[in-house]
Amino acid sequence: MIEPLKQQKNYKESIQFIDLKSQLERIRPEIDAAIKRVLDHGVFIMGPEVYELEKELASFCGVKHAISCANGTDALGLGLMAQNVGPGDAIFLPSFTFAATAEVVAWVGATPIFIDSLENTYNMDPQSLEQGIHRAKELGLNPVGIIPVDLFGQPADYDVIQSIAEEHRLWIMADGAQSFGASYRGRKVGNIGHISTTSFFPAKPLGCYGDGGAIFTNDDNLAQIMKSLRVHGQGSDKYDNIRIGMNGRLDTIQAAILLEKLKVFPDELLARQRTANHYNEALKEIVQVPYVLDGATSAWAQYTIRLPKHKDRAKLMAELKEVNIPTMVYYVKPLHQQTAYKHYPTATGGALPVCEALAEKVMSLPMSGYVDKRSQEYINSQISELLK
């Protein structure tokens, strides 16, 4: 019997939403060697790679302290613990974000106040923030801090948020889980706010092969407290506990992997920007393409389009799936409408119209540092065709 010729895998059948496979293929020998080094020296917790990574991250961002930790959620949690946030305190954050941003506020018994998003960048709306601060005071809460989120990879508008923070004596902890590698008016993400955090979850712009995260600050005192909190509130040695902390360390193996990934990261950021440019060119007349602020860059964690009101998103996503183009929706439901969070206050005391509208019409397209030209053209032409 003659077998049919095995077809070579077609690029049209192998488009990944986030192409981690091509990245691994590119750096496989370096990753294998890095993991082997850790297996050989055997210091799996707080090994030399952890400290080396922290040095590299700090220099990459131009910030004084980079503190690695177990994941992006713990990074936020450690920041709140270091700022002594507790019951009666109000923390302001966008509703249109991943649950972790609000979750950590609830962990420490404080009250998240949900803020609406801007129509253009989808990041925190400064006017809504002011309204939220007013609202918190009306509710008898003590406003203490703001957690702007750099949604989809683009920094929030920190100059404007900073001036509101100063007026009300609030600190800023920037949730840069999606924006590591991006910049805002000459500053890298990580060097913004009193504290910045990021995540190295595999699908983030800089991801490891498991969970990981980091906290950044220029404040020596906060850095020292967060390092202590990360290891059960340790004092001068391991069995000296001077505060209540947690186990929030990054594994040495993940640090070793990140050191290798960091080497190709600048190149990947350029590739992500090129992919975003291609999408922009092809799609700007038919959908709302991402808007990046003057003086800012995005790390393009997601390339997110917004469909016109009359377009059926579910139908479009199903049609794209038919032609092997994966898409995702971030986020189907803003946090102030989620079961776990809907009892917390919003800036308006009710609906947050912009983020509610966004949740219905946004969708994200394949994005990574490895979208090849043919796939890119194929995706562009399919979307243009389907949205005609």
Ligand X SMILES: *Cc1c(COP(=O)(O)O)cnc(C)c1O
CB of 73 to ligand X, least distance (A): 3
Tell me which amino acid residue 36 is.
K
Nearer to ligand X, 296 or 379 (CB): 296
5, 140, 285, 304 from 307: Cα distances, Å: 42, 40, 11, 10
46, 79, 85, 222 from 219: Cα distances, Å: 22, 12, 17, 5
Q: Please state, in angstroms and rounded to a whole number, the distance separating the CA atoms of residues 53 and 51.
A: 5
Q: Please state, in angstroms and rounded to a whole number, the distance separating the CA atoms of residues 140 and 111.
A: 11
Q: What is the DSSP letter of 231?
A: B
Nearer to ligand X, 97 or 376 (CB): 97
Chain residues binding ligand X by CB under 6 A are: 71-73, 97-98, 100-101, 149, 175, 177-178, 199, 201, 211, 213
Nearer to ligand X, 190 or 283 (CB): 190
Q: Please state, in angstroms and rounded to a whole number, the distance separating the CA atoms of residues 165 and 187.
A: 18
CB of 376 to ligand X, least distance (A): 24
CB of 51 to ligand X, least distance (A): 21
Nearer to ligand X, 80 or 379 (CB): 80
CB of 182 to ligand X, least distance (A): 13
Residue 260 in tokens: 């290798």
Strands 296-297 and 183-184: antiparallel
CB of 49 to ligand X, least distance (A): 19
Name the CA dihedral angle for 355, 361, 365, 368, rounded to a multiple of 10 degrees.
0
Which class for 10: exposed (0-12), middle (13-18), buried (19 or more C-beta within 10 A)?
A: exposed
Nearer to ligand X, 176 or 366 (CB): 176
Strands 195-199 and 303-306: unpaired
Nearer to ligand X, 214 or 371 (CB): 214
Nearer to ligand X, 207 or 316 (CB): 207
CB of 215 to ligand X, least distance (A): 12
CB of 196 to ligand X, least distance (A): 12
Across 154-187, b (16+ Cβ under 10 Å) vs e yields bbbbbeebbebbeebebbbbbbbbbbbbbbbeeb
Q: Please state, in angstroms and rounded to a whole number, the distance separating the CA atoms of residues 15 and 17.
A: 7
Strands 187-188 and 183-184: antiparallel
CB of 105 to ligand X, least distance (A): 12
Nearer to ligand X, 199 or 376 (CB): 199
Residue nearest to ligand X (CB): 72
